[in-house]
Amino acid sequence: MGATSQSRAEPRRVGFIGLGKMGAPMARRLLAAGYRVVAHDIRPEAVAEARNAGADSGDSPAAIAPLADAVITMLPDARAVEQAVYGEGGLGEALAAGQVLLEMTSSHPGTTRRVAADLGRKGVRVLDCPV
């Protein structure tokens, strides 16, 4: 069988950081499509809602990174992206070669390029997908 059949048999694991007005519905759609979602947000009530919808959660971006094949960030601005990647408990210390970061924040291009370069040196692929 092809890769599509295998991926349906074993749902991919997606980390999701940022469960606000756009992120929460996106995470729910991933769950509805059969993906395993591991969520994080700075607001405990947003994480509780994601857990009620079927997601797992982590206390920090770094905590969800090893539990996911790919991590999506849907954050309000470049500063939030920098905190999620470079801050204490950030993705920068936890993502490993072969993982993918989908940066969906409408961020500053320079921030995205720096994140891509820094994580790229570790073998992490970064996709700029602003919404």
Q: What is the dihedral of CA 101, 56, 6, 4, to 10 degrees?
A: -50
User: Domains in the chain: how many in total?
Assistant: 1
Output the pLDDT for position 1.
Answer: 40
Q: Is residue 8 part of a domain?
A: no
Residue 5 lies in a domain: no
The residue segments making up the domain with residue 77 are 13-128
Three-class SS state of 111: helix
> Average pLDDT per run of 10 along the chain, which is 131 residues long?
46 93 98 97 98 98 97 97 98 97 94 97 96 88
Q: Tell me if 43 is assigned to some domain.
A: yes
Q: How many CB atoms lie within 10 A of CB 113?
A: 12
Q: Which letter, b or e, does each residue of 55-89 get, where b requires 16 or more Cβ atoms within 10 Å of its Cβ?
A: bebbebbbebbebbebbbbbbeebebbbebbeeeb
Q: Please give the Cα distance from 51 to 117 (Å, whole number).
A: 33
- CATH code: domain of residue 74: 3.40.50.720
- Per-residue pLDDT at 6: 44
- Domain-embedded: residue 20: yes
pTM listed for this prediction? 0.90
Amino acid making up residue 5:
S
Q: What is the DSSP string of 66-86?
A: GG-SEEEE--SSHHHHHHHHH
For residue 10, what pLDDT is reported? 59
Query: Has residue 19 been placed in a domain?
Result: yes
Question: Token digits for 75?
Answer: 């954050």
